[in-house]
Structure 1
């Protein structure tokens, strides 16, 4: 039988060559389908090595709000590459990092005053958790416990994994983590349970910090809760001098309809973690931001009170240039109008699909849409239902990655109305084959 990955000239295709040496994330290679080799992208579209077209309905894991091959960001990167591609940030600084810091401070919650660079969302969280623990150590107070939500996901480095509540990802490392205790997510009707659990844990443990995904738990299936509930949790923490860490790696830079999910909340966090859309899906970069009070706990003549954390590519100038271009795009009237347009489109689709016989619940916030399918099967991230749905979407030229029985859409902001309607159509068709 002809191998579709080998051209008529006998040259092996990208997918076949991939199998020789590459190990993919979140993949059981013995049972997984072969990866799809993408050769180019433009806007909300991607094309594989066989020229099949796909709509990128999840912005390539939530990183690409301004479209693939965005010329504005590419030009900024090129200009920076021909000026200063990289310089170490230990003992040195540069204008792109300084300007990015200035621009971010303008749009961050007003109490955020210091910016620490790292490489990705997981390391942004790692920095936040380390700072929470060392903050109290520097003050001569022993606090070693972190509070997190049930079913949280904060990344795959060790402290980030410890704070994550999804055992599927972490069960191999049980017993090796820092101390983490959990509270239920304050979804509608369960707010009091969450508040009471937080108060009880603070009384029982020496809690340094509370880390949370504000308003939307991404990897848990876009689970959403209200700003008022989060505000109350933050107030409880403040009353007990527990530091708060807002993990906005997914929600940041417009996903919820505002610059940050915390912009909906009437309280401010002590720290924020940023990555993903920070550079428009171009160059890996992350940032953790802090209050002045936190910074001053490390500002001392004692060298041992410094934050000894860093990365080789900390504050990479090219990444900073990409982030500056991305921030500029986010604030344009066109992109702001797109956020409203995509949200309105999601709400219209929600009105059409929410009463479908196979739909259990739907939820929308900003450009995020989620739909939960009624099923008698046990929830499984990579179970039969999820795989069947994923395969159906791919066959129909739409990139969606269901979380168990939850289908979510989180597209690039520049996606066209026709492309959105095609995504909705394929989701409706998928419900008929479940």
Structure 2
């Protein structure tokens, strides 16, 4: 089903009414506000999405009776006076259907003559919706401004503050608070000061007339007269009228802020990875909020059309590869709030706190690498890789007796690899658009070209670079992605022998003839991200690792006798799993696709599910021991002020647990079934290769005239567009597709990034199949 946009209209002031508890008078407050609007010669409307109980007592009926002409509607009415999740057991009401109905109703009202609308929830903030989940989460995609009805009864201060904090935690804007005056408890006095400090106006209302104990015909008539009189009087109070004016002003100001954000950003902000020459304000996406897989983006139109000003926009880059568990994930937000409340940030050097220790323990179990014993914390992938390079080069120099102050120590890697934007790790990549104009860049290493895996015209293919075919053999077609990863079988092939011989011969030449010294092998397992979404033949990466480890004599020049090698051999192997690790490709590690245990690995991005920066560099005991000596200068002197910050560590523990649970509870079984339907899994070490993007989509796109090749694995989809100039990072071939996706369809559009002639898309690991199907439809349409 297509996503639902957040609710914001120029012609309609829509608010959602939440109660701090059940029976706090939400409907009476709604009736007061609607009466006041109607008296101002404006049209009010009242929407009750889900109502339970006797029809005569239904909230929309109350508004119809006392609302002075208010337009009313109830979407789902259940006779049973119980919680909606119980009443709705016999009905099939999906959350998406409910949200879509609310949004459509409000949009229809915006197109008519309605000026003001209230959407009233049932019970308290966390009362369950029809499917049992909290209303605060259910209605979050709409993110309507909130009218909070506080509790005037005993204990009401606590429940009101708790309700406020629960809504705030989920990213709602609480614009006003109303409650009834109770001269005994005087909650309104306390809460007025509390919310004043939050710059939220509070209006206290006189208590409504008490209901008669027995409702015979006469008492019912008197009750109705009393209520009518009450509404007549209270709806004209100056505080109510002032509050309604403030609501109107806030709605206008919100739109005005959004309307000017792109211009202000263009004036004030220097964007990453952006050439500003020729860039204008209209090229900047204004994001009002985000939920699940979607941004809510501002349409940047000054027209007075009654359409919603916000549109759902699929986050096609997974916010630069960080999104794992969806935007606005309430569980992660709660984890972050807990850690912030418990610790804030605390010094880490020479200290420990529970989140850092718990994360280290869980991460080592998740990576399941017998070599790993130590976890080093940094704040992002680039700095985590800086630490990894420091580790690798130090232990290599120690083993081979090299003096890095006198000798140039290089790294081995792959063409197109990229490990971050800090100066040190920039030197671990070949010259490219990213680094060639960075004044300190030197490029210290050798980078192997390699065969690529791609689907072309519906067939999987291992494509060998033309200049390497004499050494590595011709292109090869394979029957499935599982076959590509069947390394047990492929290691016995002629291709594996060719790969190993070529790699060994190249290293031998570099060391013996050119005198190069190498301190580490650094790989991005399976996919090289920033280099252009390059899907390296896993057999080549495995062979490269095997040659380096099996032939330590290659790196010991002049017949030097290296120190003993209890755990690593040849060179320390560093895996940069910042992008590909932690379920991005459908597994806990991308190293598992190669059946290799690296000596050092770096993880970030999905480590915290997409909420907050954090990075880990994990290493073996032997690597750790190399830095241990009586001299302080021998220590790994690297750190950050916010090293192992408790908020990030707490969120990461919960993120890893959630993804691990999904891996075993069947959450991805539908995707797995699609990918295993046409081919049997390979042997156990490489089995279970799948993607959230359907096989049918890949075959369709790969046969499209504009497409050169495609691939998908895990949450990643890569589309290479044909370019007569040969492609590469500076290519503009993918811009056309990017622009079509940005326009999108009637329901949503797509924010995507391109790498030259490659447009890639990523989902969260929590993406819903229906949402992905809609995305696939849009892709097919855009490439027709």
Same structural fold, with TM-score higher than 0.5 when normalized by the shorter chain? yes
In the TM superposition, residue 157 of structure 1 has moved relative to its aligned partner by 0.3
> What per-residue deviation string (whole Å, max 9, x for no partner) do you get for residues 340-362 of structure 1?
54515432211232222332222
Q: Relative to structure 1, is the Cα distance of residues 185 and 341 closer, same or farther in structure 2, using a 3 angstrom cutoff?
A: farther
Q: Relative to structure 1, is the Cα distance of residues 199 and 418 closer, same or farther in structure 2, using a 3 angstrom cutoff?
A: farther
Q: Which residue does 1:289 correspond to in 2?
A: 618
State yes or no: 1:24 paired with 2:274: no
Contact 1:159/1:177 (<8 A) preserved: no
Measure, in 2, the Cα distance between the counterparts of 1:93 and 1:38. 38
Pairwise mapping of residues 232-251 of structure 1 onto structure 2 (< 5 A)? 232-238=543-549, 239-240=551-552, 241-251=570-580
State yes or no: 1:301 paired with 2:630: yes
What is the TM-score when the length of structure 2 is the normalising length? 0.52
> What per-residue deviation string (whole Å, max 9, x for no partner) do you get for residues 113-161 of structure 1?
1111111111111111111122234454346111121111111001221
Measure, in 2, the Cα distance between the counterparts of 1:9 and 1:212. 47
In the TM superposition, residue 246 of structure 1 has moved relative to its aligned partner by 0.2
Contact 1:330/1:336 (<8 A) preserved: no
Q: Relative to structure 1, is the Cα distance of residues 128 and 10 closer, same or farther in structure 2, using a 3 angstrom cutoff?
A: closer
Paired residues in the alignment total 427
Aligned-partner SS, 1:321: helix
Consecutive unaligned residues of structure 2, counting only runs of 5 or more, are: 1-251, 299-308, 453-461, 465-471, 473-497, 553-569, 672-690
Measure, in 2, the Cα distance between the counterparts of 1:47 and 1:344. 23
Q: Which residue does 1:52 correspond to in 2?
A: 311
Measure, in 2, the Cα distance between the counterparts of 1:335 and 1:415. 17
Aligned-partner SS, 1:372: strand
Q: Which residue does 1:146 correspond to in 2?
A: 411
Q: 1:332 aligns with which of 644, 661, 665?
A: 661
State yes or no: 1:268 paired with 2:585: no
Q: Which residue does 1:354 correspond to in 2?
A: 702
Measure, in 1, the Cα distance between the counterparts of 2:337 and 2:623. 36
In the TM superposition, residue 9 of structure 1 has moved relative to its aligned partner by 8.3
Consecutive unaligned residues of structure 1, counting only runs of 5 or more, are: 1-5
Aligned-partner SS, 1:160: helix
Q: Which residue does 1:14 correspond to in 2?
A: 261
Q: Which has the larger radius of gyration?
A: 2
In the TM superposition, residue 225 of structure 1 has moved relative to its aligned partner by 2.5
Q: Which has the higher contact order (CA 8 A, sep 6+)?
A: 1
Contact 1:346/1:367 (<8 A) preserved: no
Q: 1:197 aligns with which of 506, 519, 525?
A: 506
Measure, in 2, the Cα distance between the counterparts of 1:8 and 1:259. 42
Q: Which residue does 1:417 correspond to in 2?
A: 769
Measure, in 2, the Cα distance between the counterparts of 1:111 and 1:9. 55
Q: 1:114 aligns with which of 374, 380, 384?
A: 374
Aligned-partner SS, 1:407: strand
Q: Which residue does 1:127 correspond to in 2?
A: 387
Q: Relative to structure 1, is the Cα distance of residues 292 and 361 closer, same or farther in structure 2, using a 3 angstrom cutoff?
A: same
Q: Which moved more, 1:114-123 or 1:161-170?
A: 161-170
Measure, in 2, the Cα distance between the counterparts of 1:339 and 1:263. 18
Measure, in 1, the Cα distance between the counterparts of 2:627 and 2:658. 35
RMSD over aligned Cα, in angstroms?
2.3
Contact 2:580/2:589 (<8 A) preserved: yes
Q: Which residue does 2:528 correspond to in 1?
A: 217
Measure, in 1, the Cα distance between the counterparts of 2:293 and 2:666. 17
Contact 1:364/1:370 (<8 A) preserved: yes
In the TM superposition, residue 253 of structure 1 has moved relative to its aligned partner by 0.9
Q: Relative to structure 1, is the Cα distance of residues 194 and 387 closer, same or farther in structure 2, using a 3 angstrom cutoff?
A: farther
Aligned-partner SS, 2:295: strand
Pairwise mapping of residues 46-195 of structure 1 onto structure 2 (< 5 A)? 46-49=295-298, 50-108=309-367, 109-139=369-399, 140-142=401-403, 144-165=409-430, 167-173=432-438, 176-177=441-442, 179-187=444-452, 188=462, 189=464, 190=472, 192=499, 193-194=502-503
Measure, in 1, the Cα distance between the counterparts of 2:528 and 2:779. 21
Q: Relative to structure 1, is the Cα distance of residues 335 and 63 closer, same or farther in structure 2, using a 3 angstrom cutoff?
A: farther
Q: Relative to structure 1, is the Cα distance of residues 380 and 360 closer, same or farther in structure 2, using a 3 angstrom cutoff?
A: closer
Measure, in 1, the Cα distance between the counterparts of 2:667 and 2:539. 27
Aligned-partner SS, 1:390: helix
What is the TM-score when the length of structure 1 is the normalising length? 0.91
Measure, in 2, the Cα distance between the counterparts of 1:149 and 1:402. 21
